[in-house]
Amino acid sequence: MKLPFFSRKKQIKPQEAIYTEAFSTLQNLIAPAGLEINTNYLKLGEQYCATLFVLTYPDYLASNWFSSVINLDESFNISIFFHPLDINKVLRNLRKKSAEIQAQINIEAERGLVRNPLLEAALSNVEKLRDTIQQGSERLFDVGVYITFFSNSQEGLSKVESKIRNILEQQLIYAKPAVFREFEGLESTMPLGVNRLLLTTPLNSQPASTLFPFSSLDLSDNKGILYGINIHNNSLIIFDRFSLPNANMVVFAQTGAGKSYAIKLEILRSLLLGTNILIIDPENEYQYLAESIGGSYFNIAVASEDNINPFELPLVKEDEETNEEVFRNHVLSLIGLIKLMLGGLTPQEELILDQAIIQTYASRDIFPENMTEQKAPPLMEDLENVLENIEGGEDLAAKLYKFTKGTYAGFLNKQSNIDINNRLVVFGIRELADELRPIAMYVVLNYIWTMIKKDLRKRIAIIDEGWWLLNHEESASFLFSLIKRARKYYLGVTFITQDIEDALASPYGKPIITNSSLSLLLRQSPANIEIIGKALNLTEQEKTILLQSPVGTGLFFAQEKHAAIQIVASYAEDQIITSNPAQLLAIKEAKKQLKSES
């Protein structure tokens, strides 16, 4: 005996009941609370939405024109429908249209009217289209383009609509709202593949192809190094920083985001192309890299044997400043160093110091006129001795005592004995106390600046934890001056920091960013995202990428071009540049084992 239908319907297997309940719950979770249909908008729960459709196009469409809409920083759905037309029917219609235009031209000619260029152009276009379709190089489509945009209010909806229509109308493309058909418009832009609006425009293959939506900025150049993979389209980001208006770069990332890894990868690949690298390393992160590839590592510390004399004079090039100008600029940089060492100077002390430095060079028979001669430059203790014999200089001499004969005597009071002619040179300052780090970074930068002016080569100077310099007016000013003038000496400066808030709080922080053609942004903390977003004009989508990106991924900016990047290294590169303590320990143990076996 068969059960009635309603009885059979109730007899559901336990597994089916579980599935039915779960499916119903899922629908309830993803569905809006309600749908309100109005003349020119819909209300989905708390969200408002409306749909535009493209009505007319100009005679010519440039490639990638649609990217200006796609890259708009708003929430919207876009659907593009291509409905192929029957070729035979199209050819018949074109033949008929050609005959009509030709007849109109003949009628006007019989009447003795002046020839009509519009009719002649229309006839030429129709004939060209007929030829291309018959040859199979073109096809004709009914194309529907629908844009459904969302906002939290009706006012916001109107603003978004104005933005989209303005962008389109600037390119002579006109869109209309789907009045009285907003629900069909929403369905047409949902991932259902259903064209409910059926508001189309005929386009042949070439202009239709300009609607291709998956367009992203290409950062591949014919020369340069591989920085990573463009996450948008899996293309390679290959760039030559020296081909830009300046070769400077800023790197912002929180601890553990992979900034040192990315920079070491750039160092390795730049060395292969003949670029010399100079690094200021506050945490000895680059020591293993230098040792692995035969670079030079100098330990700048109080008791170190590696010394830099800040009184060493730069070389004067014939086509640049005069001896007097170079000498004066060097004296000013020394005054900045002393101000940094002593925690500031009064105007009177600065005047005394200016005179004392000139007299200190004179004590070694060094003047602007003969500064190019090979003479041993003075030391910090020579300046102390001069100050002791100048009226009003006794206090300054007393303050310099700890740098000449006191606690820090071995730091800045010796002749330079380092050579930066190696392809890779690293200055390590980890062993210095915090109060000496900005002084050491200033001295190293000044020494680098002095040396590169003597020998013009393609170089990159990398300043890790650069916020130390921005914490002091003198060092921040010197760094900014170097960044502005670097290109003149074939130098690119890479400024790296994780303390973004302190860096941007400095009056020199934003100018350093604006004077850098390249930017690499890796994962950021929520506390800093608004600060960096405002400084670099990031979109909401770009901010989200920086908050959610895993280690080694982020954003790469080359002037106006932005792309999401993934840093990728080969196995051999990874073994050289890794900062992972576990990996470094394993490599060290493997070397020990190989040594013992041999």
d(CA 508, CA 283): 24
pLDDT at residue 272 is higher than 60: yes
pLDDT number for residue 5:
38
Mean pLDDT of the chain: 84
pLDDT number for residue 8:
44
pLDDT-based confidence at residue 79 (cuts at 50, 70, 90): very high
d(CA 495, CA 164): 38
Q: Which residues neighbour 484 within 8 Å (Cβ) at sequence distance 6 or greater?
A: 515
What are the pLDDT digits (tens) for 98-122?
Answer: 888 888 888 888 888 887 888 888 7
pLDDT at residue 488 is higher than 90: no
pLDDT number for residue 9:
46
Q: Mapping DSSP to helix (H, G, I), strand (E, B) and coil, where does residue 319 land?
A: coil
pLDDT number for residue 316:
61
Provide mean pLDDT across the span 231-259. 86
pLDDT at residue 3 is higher than 60: no
Q: Mapping DSSP to helix (H, G, I), strand (E, B) and coil, where does residue 417 land?
A: coil
Q: At what angle do helices 87-110 and 117-135 cross, to 10 degrees?
A: 150
pLDDT-based confidence at residue 278 (cuts at 50, 70, 90): very high
Higher pLDDT, 582 or 363: 363
Q: Assign residue 256 a region: left if phi > 0, alpha if psi is -120 to 50, beta otherwise?
A: left
pLDDT-based confidence at residue 268 (cuts at 50, 70, 90): very high
Higher pLDDT, 92 or 31: 92
What are the pLDDT digits (tens) for 403-412?
Answer: 888 888 877 8
d(CA 161, CA 154): 11
pLDDT at residue 493 is higher than 50: yes
Task: Using DSSP bridges, classify how beta strands 236-239 and 459-463 pair: parallel, antiparallel or unpaired.
Answer: unpaired
Provide mean pLDDT across the span 148-163. 92
pLDDT number for residue 7:
42
Residue 114, phi then psi, degrees to nearest 5? -65, 145
Higher pLDDT, 35 or 587: 35
pLDDT-based confidence at residue 319 (cuts at 50, 70, 90): low
Q: How many CB atoms lie within 10 A of CB 372?
A: 13
Residues 148, 49: contact at Cβ < 8 Å?
A: yes
Cα–Cα distances in angstroms (integers) from residue 377 to residues 275, 372, 401, in the given order: 30, 11, 19
Provide mean pLDDT across the span 152-163. 92
Site of tokens 């190019």: 372
What are the pLDDT digits (tens) for 187-211?
Answer: 999 988 899 999 999 888 888 888 8
Task: Using DSSP bridges, classify how beta strands 35-37 and 42-44 pair: parallel, antiparallel or unpaired.
Answer: antiparallel
Q: How many percent of the chain have pLDDT more than 70? A: 92
pLDDT number for residue 217:
56
Provide mean pLDDT across the span 68-73. 77
Higher pLDDT, 136 or 446: 446
pLDDT number for residue 18:
62
What are the pLDDT digits (tens) for 8-41?
Answer: 445 556 666 666 665 566 666 677 778 899 999 9
pLDDT number for residue 91:
81
Least confident of 7-16, 261-270, 441-450, 463-472: 7-16
The upper half-sphere exposure of residue 229, i.e. CA atoms within 13 Å in the direction of its Cβ, equals 10
Provide mean pLDDT across the span 418-423. 84
d(CA 527, CA 210): 41
**What is the C-alpha radius of gyration for the chain, rounded to an integer number of angstroms?**
35
Residue 586, phi then psi, degrees to nearest 5? -65, -40
Higher pLDDT, 263 or 97: 263
pLDDT-based confidence at residue 88 (cuts at 50, 70, 90): confident
Cα distance between the two ends of the chain? 89
pLDDT at residue 214 is higher than 60: no
Confidence (pTM)? 0.66
Provide mean pLDDT across the span 227-247. 86
What are the pLDDT digits (tens) for 516-552?
Answer: 989 999 998 888 888 888 888 887 778 888 888 888 8
Provide mean pLDDT across the span 137-158. 90
d(CA 380, CA 367): 17
